[in-house]
Structure 1
Amino acid sequence: MNFKHIVLALQFVLLSIVINAQTVDFLKADTTDTNKTYPRYMFAQTKFHFGGHFSTGVDGLEEIENNYFSAMELRVGWKGYGRKRWQKLMGYPSYGFGLYQATFFPEANILGSPSAVYGFFNAPFKRYNKWSLNYDLGVGLAYDFFGYDPKENPEQTAIGSDFNVYFTVSVEGEFKLSRRLDLTTGFLFTHFSNGRTRTPNKGVNLYGLNAGLKYNFNAYIPKQGGQRLAKTQDPRPKYIDYNLPEFKPYWEYYMFAAGGWSTSPYDIEDRELYYGVATLAFDVARHYSHKGKFGIGVDVFRDGSLVEEYQNKPEYSNGVPESRLWYPGIHVSHELLIHRFTLVTQVGVPLIHVEGRGGWYGRVGGRYDITRKVFAHLALKTPGGFIADFVEWGVGFRMYGKKKV
């Protein structure tokens, strides 16, 4: 992206009284393999995609959107067979890094043919003797788009940046073919967007089928200089079972502050126009299991781009006051816990009328636990509908309710 401004994320420091809490340390700092004597199981995988485009409604892209696309992935990953206890909690997943390359047809087009680097997480819905039904998530950075440019690429008004976020989700079956090879095949959805850090931002959305082969390497033990285990050993690990700590529901209280920037939702030609945005949120959540929690919270938003919603109104002929750029909201949430990562989904409503932003908003994103009480926050906030409003970059602090005896 051709970013001209750097916006510092808001940071805050909170002092609090330490409250006794039910421990979740076995998720945060797993000590199962402190001596690194458990073997590690790696794999390489290639996937092929084939499918079509969801329409953006942009004139000039019909030739691309009425055509098919193809893509290829190359992956390297690790199998979570129980070296850490959270892996049992998530059904013994696999995870790693990948490269993605798509081709949009015709190849000479105004949108480009995107590539991406990303991380992935794959876990089973259900595992059987020789096959499993899995879900697969991938998130990363896409490049090789031909972004909108009023002079160089004026007809491409679907996406305004050369670099975008890459997100893909698929449901697939995984089948054992031989001692080392697995076959994967399933359905996929892929999304590219920049979170309105550059307009236009209608996004690019793909659907289709994927098929691939996974090669399982011999396991090795890091503590013993990366020594490989015997070639006769099955390269697929045996799962380690655990008696997880008894779960008792408990409360969590947290807040975060975030900042960012957005561009005009209407003016796509002024490439120097940026607005500052900020969020302050306070939440109460109830942990219902080791894997998740429900919550409710209050938001306070500051959106500098709201000036465009009011500046043409007669009562603001002398300027839009700062107070019109702020508004409160209330939301409900669900959070999925995967070791130190949290997948956040929220739906909220503004507590006052906000011009041009609809009657509700959403937030989808992730958090990473830096310590047990401090976390980093990255999320996409949307207005009514599913078009991006802005991206939140922030930091938060949490406390826990008293442990039940």
Structure 2
Amino acid sequence: MRTFLAILYVIPFIVFSQTNKKLEPRILNNFKIQIGYQNGYVFATNDFIKGINGENNRINAFQAFTLKFSKQTTGINKWEQLFKYPSYGVGIYLADFHNPEEIGTPIALYGFFNAPFKRWSKLTFNYELGFGATFNWKSFNPITNQYNIAIGAGQSFFIDAGLNLEYRLNKKMDIAAGFSFTHFSNGALKKPNKGINNLGPKISFKYNLKDRPFFIKNNLSSYIGEKEWLISAFGGIKNVIFDNANIDIIEKYEGLNFPVFGVSTVFNKQVSYKSKFGIGMSFSYNGTLDAQVAIENNQLEPVESAFSNKIQISIFPSYELIINKVSLIVQPAFYLFRKKIKNKTPVFYQKIGIKYHFSNNLFAGITLRDYSFHVSDFIEWNIGYRIKWREK
């Protein structure tokens, strides 16, 4: 931890000392470096966090350190003005849950987007979204780390969302204070995977590597309504552990991976430059439904079961937040059809995702499907095609 703090302290001075020597001034235009600290609360969403762990203590607090490099937009593109001149970049996040023996010291690498709700002369009120990957977990092991049912793999996804107030201190320095909610999960790629959820206040300092930019202000034309029809295919895997299997404990908790795949279609109406609303349906095959296994040579072998038992049909409203070629997607969904089998997930589930448009028609993305708002079901990797037309 002390080493990381030392790096945070030294890096800005290294960068600043090289500004005029090795970097052309234009390269550093509109870029910032930021260091931050957060201390907050861990939600008790599973037994491990509640205190069923090696220390017999409730894990209720965490602290985190961040180092971020960002670019400030100036309004040269229409979307930059629509979002009131946001910034975006990459960051490193180091978390401490005060239990390194069972949790480790996770490190996340992520991209983020920070945009104002309101901008004044020296003050801005912002929201920030981040998405990335987390490493260095000390994950579940049935022999050496049997209590950690929160994190089943050494890697996980990192999702962060929060609000902050940013104040201009002088020509180079800004201070920001706010809070954020953070979710860690591997999307059921490896069980157990109850996940970890944090909420806490944070403070950070930003340094502008060059003089502050001037914002371009143009009159934007009125939005002309558009509609679109999307069709996409998705696929992924889901890990299942069979607790009743009488085999070696290591083999048991490796579990088996089953395929999940399907097609989805959505009809959207774009109501502004930034927002779309729509309705969609999904037809999916989930190999974990009615999954059965046999034991051969101390290993699990899947047993074929009826294809129809694994079919699910869903309906969902859809919302998209459009940021240039990227869209953030929220889809609360309901199962319309699935076979009556034991241990089903709830009828109501949630999807949150991100997609990128490579062209006007072709896109790809990743979507997390979960239920009860904190339990991951599986990850959908998707690719799709769009047909778009203007309203008359």
Both proteins in one fold, TM over 0.5: yes
Which residue is equivalent to 2:15?
Answer: none
In structure 2, do the counterparts of structure 1 residues 64 and 100 end up closer, same or farther at CA, with 3 Å as the change threshold?
Answer: farther
The structure with higher relative contact order (CA 8 Å, sep 6+) is 1
Which residue is equivalent to 1:23?
Answer: none
Q: Is 1:280 the equivalent of 2:263?
A: yes
Q: C-alpha deviations, 1:183-228, integer Å up to 9, x for none?
A: 011112111100000111110111111111100111xxxxxxxxxx
Q: Is 1:293 the equivalent of 2:276?
A: yes
Correspondent of 1:50 among 30, 34, 39: 39
Q: C-alpha deviations, 1:113-150, integer Å up to 9, x for none?
A: 21111111101111112111111111111011111111
Which residue is equivalent to 1:113?
Answer: 105
Correspondent of 1:146 among 125, 134, 138: 138
Assess if the C-alpha contact under 8 Å between 1:48 and 1:70 holds in 2.
Answer: yes
| Post-superposition offset of 1:309 | 8.6
Q: Is 1:261 the equivalent of 2:247?
A: no
Matched AA of 2:214: K
* Structure 1: 5+ residue stretches without partners: 1-36, 219-234, 312-317
Which residue is equivalent to 1:369?
Answer: 357
Assess if the C-alpha contact under 8 Å between 2:234 and 2:383 holds in 1.
Answer: yes
Q: C-alpha deviations, 1:240-264, integer Å up to 9, x for none?
A: 1122232122210010001110011
Assess if the C-alpha contact under 8 Å between 1:111 and 1:145 holds in 2.
Answer: yes
Which residue is equivalent to 2:96?
Answer: 103
Which residue is equivalent to 2:334?
Answer: 349
Matched AA of 1:388: S
Deviates more, 1:48-57 or 1:275-284: 48-57
Which residue is equivalent to 1:240?
Answer: 216
Correspondent of 1:122 among 92, 114, 130: 114
| Post-superposition offset of 1:152 | 2.6
Q: Distance in 1 between matches of 2:56 and 2:114?
A: 34
In structure 2, do the counterparts of structure 1 residues 351 and 61 end up closer, same or farther at CA, with 3 Å as the change threshold?
Answer: farther
Q: Distance in 2 between matches of 1:353 and 1:275?
A: 18
Which residue is equivalent to 2:164?
Answer: 172
Assess if the C-alpha contact under 8 Å between 2:231 and 2:263 holds in 1.
Answer: yes
Between Structure 1 and Structure 2, which shows a larger proportion of strand residues?
2
Matched AA of 1:177: L
* Mapping 1:59-74, distance limit 5 Å: 59-60=52-53, 65-74=58-67
Alpha carbon RMSD of aligned pairs, Å?
A: 2.3
Q: Distance in 2 between matches of 1:298 and 1:402?
A: 23
Assess if the C-alpha contact under 8 Å between 1:53 and 1:65 holds in 2.
Answer: no
Equivalent pairs counted in the alignment come to 345
Which residue is equivalent to 2:253?
Answer: 270
Q: Distance in 1 between matches of 2:110 and 2:84?
A: 22
Relative to the length of structure 2, the TM-score reads 0.83
Relative to the length of structure 1, the TM-score reads 0.80
**What's the % identity of the aligned pairs?**
32
Matched AA of 1:195: G
Assess if the C-alpha contact under 8 Å between 2:188 and 2:239 holds in 1.
Answer: yes
| Post-superposition offset of 1:361 | 2.1
Q: C-alpha deviations, 1:252-292, integer Å up to 9, x for none?
A: 00100011100116649431410000020111111101111
In structure 2, do the counterparts of structure 1 residues 148 and 66 end up closer, same or farther at CA, with 3 Å as the change threshold?
Answer: closer
* Structure 2: 5+ residue stretches without partners: 1-25, 244-249, 295-302
Assess if the C-alpha contact under 8 Å between 1:357 and 1:384 holds in 2.
Answer: no
Deviates more, 1:157-166 or 1:64-73: 64-73
Q: Distance in 2 between matches of 1:214 and 1:81?
A: 17
| Post-superposition offset of 1:320 | 2.6
Assess if the C-alpha contact under 8 Å between 2:292 and 2:305 holds in 1.
Answer: no
Which residue is equivalent to 2:389?
Answer: 401
In structure 2, do the counterparts of structure 1 residues 129 and 309 end up closer, same or farther at CA, with 3 Å as the change threshold?
Answer: farther
| Post-superposition offset of 1:308 | 3.4
> Secondary structure of 2:290's partner?
helix
Which residue is equivalent to 2:77?
Answer: 84
Q: Distance in 2 between matches of 1:324 and 1:249?
A: 42
